[in-house]
Amino acid sequence: MAFKKYKMRKLVFTAITFALVLGSCSNEQLEQINTSPNAAPDASLELLVNGALVGTIQPMSGENARLAGMWAQQFTGEDRQYSGFQSYTITQADFSWSGYYYSMSQQSELAIEKAVAAGNDFYLGITHVVKGMAFGTVAALFEEAPFTQANDFENFPNPTFDDQLTIYTGVQNLLDDAIEVLERNQGTGDFASKDFFFSGDPASWIRVAHTLKARYYLHTRDYTSALAETEFGIMLPENDMIAPHAGNYNLDMNLYFSFGIFDRPGYMTATNAYLPTILDSVGQTADGVQTGLKNNAKTDESARFAFYYTGYGDQNKDGKVDRAYDLNYGGAYGRAASFPMVTAVENLLIMAECYWQGGDDDKALEKLNEVRAIHATTFGTTYDAYVDTDFDAGGIADYGRGTRSDNLYFEIILEKYASLTGQIEVFNDLRRTDNLIGLTPIGTATDIPQRYLTPQDEVDGNPNAILSGTLFEKTTVNQ
């Protein structure tokens, strides 16, 4: 069936900031390097900002996102070290947070310094947003990490670690600062050509900042504050923060495509993964019942399934179900497919959950139905509005949770799980809700992983490093 893919933004950007620095050097600068090796040319504010924006893509859609997707059972580790990751066999040496500290935070710090000196509020604001996103993700995944002393190598060569709640508080402050300066928006520059997300539109970045604030308030279970932020967040898909790709290997290719087709083919599929199983409306279980939990009289998930996955679950000769799913490298994970980072769907589903947490089931259902309407437009299949009786015992959305309200909450969480496919937030939600959707831990494990481990290179190089808890020890906000 026809459906609308994520909108591609035809914007030119580079993925290798270092190459940009070299490419922008004048002859005079090159001569300066030749005569004084210690006097490297200074990068411009615009170049630093572009580097910070480019720097968001790998940390948010690369290795850490793939690992989150495997542990959330949206994907499956099949070969080499990925088969070990699938069964939670992993060490500190396998983790990295360098993208958050260098590509996002340090680049932003350098740009912030120049933006302050130049009185440029737009660049100052958007780099605060990038820095807030970086540390919000670090806090969620790793719990304790350098924050107040991070990226100040002269004064703090071995930064101390801050606790998770301190980092979240700092993130909220960063995003508040971003909103303040973006609303003021003084200064001039070639914003449209450097901002490949929103072409220099401060209002779009303000919406992103509010949705990120809602995201991180949700992490800490401050539902009142999260709901308040969503009111000013992204409400329409055309305002989504989407990473554009053009399909060129090692430059601007979708990272899922790069990994699955060029770098490590066969390492990660979706065989027997939970998400394709509940979206699949064609495959059948051994007793002949459709596997597609998310399909019902008002919901046709066939197009969404086909956008994200290939294959279907069917009986084999032994009567067992062989769910030989894989990622769709011609759809959501195509070589030039854009990648969603902060979206209206996420914002609306945060609203839905917060309304439910506050006891307003009617408003929660209203926001859930707004998401379903977006999906109907995006995928071109049926997502009719639910009514409250659909969640009654025996209703089409009865998940066996006991009450109408509890079935509604389950649907909100399950919908967010399906809507944010491939994003780190799925793993964050899974842990925050104590695995409400009921994933079965892999192998002999009795629980799903609860955190990422402090990277080994940080432990080796920083005497102030704090060893993380075990893989299955809940972080502070999830206890």
pLDDT tier for residue 10 given thresholds of 50, 70 and 90: very low
Residues 6+ apart with CB under 8 A from 430: 71, 72, 417, 437, 439, 448
How much is the pLDDT for 29? 42
How much is the pLDDT for 25? 39
Mean pLDDT of the chain: 90
Using alpha carbons, list the distances in angstroms from residue 250 to 234, 261, 291, 307. Answer: 31, 13, 38, 24
Is the model's pLDDT at 82 over the cut of 80? yes
What would the mean pLDDT of 232-255 be, rounded to a whole number? 98
How much is the pLDDT for 41? 66
How much is the pLDDT for 283? 67
What is the percent of the chain where pLDDT is above 90?
83
Place of tokens 């859930």: 368
pTM above 0.85, yes or no: yes
pLDDT tier for residue 287 given thresholds of 50, 70 and 90: very low
Check: CATH 1.25.40.390 for 43-244+338-343+420-478? yes
**Tens of pLDDT, residues 128-162:** 999 999 999 999 999 999 999 999 999 999 999 99
What would the mean pLDDT of 22-43 be, rounded to a whole number? 49
What would the mean pLDDT of 265-284 be, rounded to a whole number? 90
What would the mean pLDDT of 161-166 be, rounded to a whole number? 99
pLDDT tier for residue 314 given thresholds of 50, 70 and 90: low
Using DSSP's 3-state secondary structure scheme, residue 149 falls into: coil
Residue ranges, comma separated, of all CATH 1.25.40.390 domains in the chain are 43-244+338-343+420-478
Q: Is the model more confident about 190 or about 453?
A: 453
What would the mean pLDDT of 110-120 be, rounded to a whole number? 97
Q: Quickly count: other Cβ atoms within 10 Å of residue 457's Cβ.
A: 15
Is the model's pLDDT at 13 over the cut of 70? no
Q: Is the model more confident about 469 or about 379?
A: 379
Using alpha carbons, list the distances in angstroms from residue 471 to 65, 224, 333, 401, 409. Answer: 17, 30, 29, 29, 28
Q: Rounded to 5 degrees, what are φ and ψ at 273?
A: -70, 155
Lowest mean pLDDT among 52-61, 167-176, 182-191: 182-191
pLDDT tier for residue 190 given thresholds of 50, 70 and 90: confident
Query: Are the C-beta atoms of 284 and 313 separated by less than 8 Å?
Result: yes
Lowest mean pLDDT among 232-241, 303-312, 384-393: 303-312
Burial of 395 (0-12, 13-18, 19+ CB in 10 A): middle
**Among candidate residues 164, 178, 179, the one with its CA nearest the CA of residue 220:** 164
Is the model's pLDDT at 7 over the cut of 60? no
Token digits of residue 286? 């051994």
Burial of 277 (0-12, 13-18, 19+ CB in 10 A): buried
What is the percent of the chain where pLDDT is above 70?
88
CA 422/CA 333 separation, integer angstroms: 9
pLDDT tier for residue 177 given thresholds of 50, 70 and 90: very high
